[in-house]
């Protein structure tokens, strides 16, 4: 028997109530709750961000943390990454673990804010972000601005940078057979795996002589008395001398040899006992070390890369190590990160055996320092809070001018007060007096059009300044975000 729902008492009551509302001019509306803003914390391998965001209420911001990276090595993986990130208004990133080119940014229609760590944006398409109305905010690693009494090293000073320490950890571990001996002892059958290499008096070659390359070279000179030679595309002996002075070293040793000696690329690879990579990755520098350079190296030489994996041609390096043409290599960086399980670099009980070179690997730990990582996430959390409150992101502290120049030039945004501080080797009292009369120097508030003439990198000369400049810093007080 069919049920006549229109004859039921409940239906008749509802129908009567609806007719009464119509007669009185009352209409019912369904009011949707406003969508809560959402944040994706990506590439947080060790869940370091958790304590820094835990105080933000879920009723204010819905936070999802992704510990594993999706590397968009093909279209399918790019689609997976887009699917993961599409729902979010804010994304908290960690250095270059995930790049944000225009092709990705244009597929994220909800994205309003990118929380970046560090002050370099080589893997972010800043122009596309600006066009799409996406703000990019930096975390320089100095800690929250609303917590007094913090004592955090400024990593822009090369000696304090974790990568300087990690580079030397790898050099020493490789030279002293630390990993091989540790594995042999723990296997219960081995003891000494081979003779160690003493570094005293040997030659260190740095590919790149920026603040990190100079800091690593300084340790070589002071700790082991190593000869330091260096090369980069535009490096001159004058610039090498200025970098030696900048890290507090004399320009020459007792034998009148240059402390940092600029040489050709060929001479560096032919003469070095240890080659350490400290070059910025770009399309021009990709594969800057290939089969030709590796063939020039001594059979006893060590190669260390804590810069970027693609600087070295991976196939050429694999061939070199497979055939034992150098003593060994230590790698902290790779073409694809994290390394796929099938990567040839992951083979155990393979390297250093049967004529193959030794290989020491670490999972891009150069900057993964407890204090630095926590400072970055603390700053990112503060910027997320300010965004929720409708405030601009605030970052204060000493930041190197040359690394922010590109961001300011693209964004057209500016701090409300700027002071330049200069420090470095001053050759005479006259020049010292000139420096004191020029600095600190306050720049005009509206400085975006005039900014290029202040875009001076370390080791260049300031306008109207006739002495070498070694360290240039800005004391920036922001009411505007850095980039966006």
CA 320 to chain centre: 29
User: Does residue 13 fall inside a structural domain?
Assistant: no
| Unique residue bearing structure tokens 């070694």 | 470
The mean pLDDT of the chain is: 80
* Tokens standing for residue 52: 């820094």
Task: Sort strands 203-207 and 135-137 into parallel, antiparallel or unpaired.
Answer: unpaired
User: Does residue 21 fall inside a structural domain?
Assistant: no
Same domain, 184 and 40: no
Same domain, 312 and 212: yes
* Tokens standing for residue 45: 């391998």
Question: Which parts of 299-456 fold into alpha helices (H)?
Answer: 314-322, 370-388, 401-411, 429-438
Which among 266, 253, 168, 180 is positioned nearest to 217, based on CA atoms?
168
Domain with 339 in it:
158-361
Same domain, 332 and 379: no
Same domain, 84 and 228: no
Identify the pLDDT of residue 16.
Answer: 57
Q: Which among 303, 338, 361 is the end of a domain?
A: 361
Position with higher pLDDT, 244 vs 466: 244
User: Does residue 7 fall inside a structural domain?
Assistant: no
Position with higher pLDDT, 158 vs 104: 104
Could you say which DSSP state residue 179 is in? H
Same domain, 330 and 406: no
Q: How far apart are CA 413 and CA 419, in angstroms?
A: 16
Identify the pLDDT of residue 139.
Answer: 87
Could you say which DSSP state residue 453 is in? G
pLDDT in tens, 18-49: 555 444 454 444 455 678 999 999 999 999 99
The H or E element spanning position 99 is none
Same domain, 406 and 471: yes
Question: Which parts of 200-359 fold into alpha helices (H)?
Answer: 211-224, 237-246, 265-271, 291-296, 314-322
Sheet of 90-92: strand order equals 62-66, 38-42, 90-92, 113-115, 135-137
* Tokens standing for residue 235: 């490096």
Same domain, 300 and 378: no
Same domain, 200 and 349: yes
pLDDT in tens, 255-300: 899 999 999 999 999 999 999 999 999 999 999 999 999 999 999 9
User: Does residue 24 fall inside a structural domain?
Assistant: no
Read off the pLDDT of each residue in 295-314 and give the average, rounded to a whole number. 98
Identify the pLDDT of residue 143.
Answer: 85
Confidence of residue 145 (pLDDT cuts 50, 70, 90): confident
Same domain, 346 and 233: yes
pLDDT higher than threshold 80 for residue 431: no
User: Does residue 8 fall inside a structural domain?
Assistant: no
Q: Is the peptide bond before 299 cis (omega within 30 degrees of 0)?
A: no
We report the CATH number of the domain holding residue 249 as 3.40.50.720
Confidence of residue 392 (pLDDT cuts 50, 70, 90): low
Confidence of residue 123 (pLDDT cuts 50, 70, 90): confident
Which among 295, 301, 298 is positioned nearest to 317, based on CA atoms?
295
User: Taking the model in full, what pTM does it have?
Assistant: 0.75
User: Does residue 461 fall inside a structural domain?
Assistant: yes
pLDDT higher than threshold 70 for residue 409: no
Q: How far apart are CA 167 and CA 163, in angstroms?
A: 6
What's the structural domain count of the chain? Answer: 3
Which among 382, 420, 409 is positioned nearest to 482, based on CA atoms?
409
User: Does residue 27 fall inside a structural domain?
Assistant: no
Position with higher pLDDT, 263 vs 151: 263
Read off the pLDDT of each residue in 114-122 and give the average, rounded to a whole number. 84
Same domain, 193 and 96: no
Confidence of residue 144 (pLDDT cuts 50, 70, 90): confident
pLDDT higher than threshold 80 for residue 197: yes
pLDDT higher than threshold 60 for residue 466: no
Identify the pLDDT of residue 17.
Answer: 54
Same domain, 344 and 231: yes
Identify the pLDDT of residue 316.
Answer: 98
What is the rounded radius of gyration, in angstroms, for the C-alpha atoms of the chain? 28
Q: How far apart are CA 199 and CA 469, in angstroms?
A: 32
First to last CA, the chain: 68
SS3 278: coil
Question: Is 56 in contact with 385 (CB distance < 8 Å)?
Answer: yes
Same domain, 182 and 322: yes
User: Does residue 241 fall inside a structural domain?
Assistant: yes
């Amino acid at each position: 028997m069919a049920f006549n729902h229109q004859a039921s008492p409940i239906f008749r009551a509802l129908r009567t109530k609806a007719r009464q509302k119509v007669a009185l001019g009352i209409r019912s509306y369904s009011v949707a709750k406003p969508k809560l803003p959402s944040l994706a914390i990506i590439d947080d391998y060790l869940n370091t961000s958790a304590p820094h965001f835990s105080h933000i209420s879920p009723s204010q911001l819905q936070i999802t943390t992704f510990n594993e990276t999706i590397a968009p090595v093909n279209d399918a993986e790019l689609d997976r990454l887009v699917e993961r990130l599409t729902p979010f208004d804010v994304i908290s990133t960690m250095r270059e673990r995930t790049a944000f080119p225009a092709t990705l940014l244009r597929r994220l229609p909800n994205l309003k804010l990118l929380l970046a760590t560090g002050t370099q944006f080589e893997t972010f398409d800043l122009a596309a972000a600006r066009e799409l109305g996406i703000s990019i905010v930096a975390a320089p690693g100095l800690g929250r601005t609303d917590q007094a009494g913090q004592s955090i090293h400024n990593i822009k000073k090369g000696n304090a940078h974790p990568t300087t320490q990690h580079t030397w950890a790898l050099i020493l571990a490789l030279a002293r057979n630390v990993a091989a001996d540790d594995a042999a002892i723990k296997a219960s059958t081995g003891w000494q795996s081979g003779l160690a290499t003493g570094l005293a008096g040997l030659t260190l070659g740095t590919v790149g002589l920026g603040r990190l390359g100079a800091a690593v070279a300084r340790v070589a000179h002071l700790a082991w008395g190593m000869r330091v030679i260096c090369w980069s595309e535009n490096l001159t002996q004058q610039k090498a001398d200025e970098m030696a002075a900048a890290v507090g070293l004399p320009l020459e040793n007792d034998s009148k040899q240059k402390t940092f000696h600029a040489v050709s690329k060929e001479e560096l690879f032919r003469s070095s006992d240890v080659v350490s990579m400290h070059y910025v990755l770009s399309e021009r520098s990709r594969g800057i070390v290939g089969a030709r350079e590796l063939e020039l190296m001594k059979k006893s030489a060590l190669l260390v890369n804590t810069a970027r994996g693609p600087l070295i041609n991976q196939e050429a390096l694999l061939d070199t190590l497979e055939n034992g043409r150098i003593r060994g290599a230590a790698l902290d960086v790779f073409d694809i990160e994290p390394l796929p399980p099938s990567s040839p670099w992951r083979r155990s009980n393979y390297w250093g055996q049967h004529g193959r070179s030794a290989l020491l690997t670490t999972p891009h730990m150069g900057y993964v320092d407890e204090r630095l990582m926590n400072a970055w996430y603390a700053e990112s959390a503060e910027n997320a809070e300010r965004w929720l409150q409708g405030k601009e992101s605030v970052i204060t502290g000493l930041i190197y001018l040359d690394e922010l120049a590109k961001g300011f030039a693209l964004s057209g945004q500016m701090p409300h007060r700027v002071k330049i501080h200069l420090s470095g080797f001053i050759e005479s009292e006259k020049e010292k007096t000139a420096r004191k009369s020029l600095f600190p120097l306050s720049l005009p508030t509206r400085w975006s059009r005039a900014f290029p003439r202040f875009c001076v990198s370390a080791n260049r000369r300031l306008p109207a300044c006739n002495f070498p400049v070694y360290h240039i810093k800005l004391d920036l007080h922001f009411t505007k975000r850095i980039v966006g």
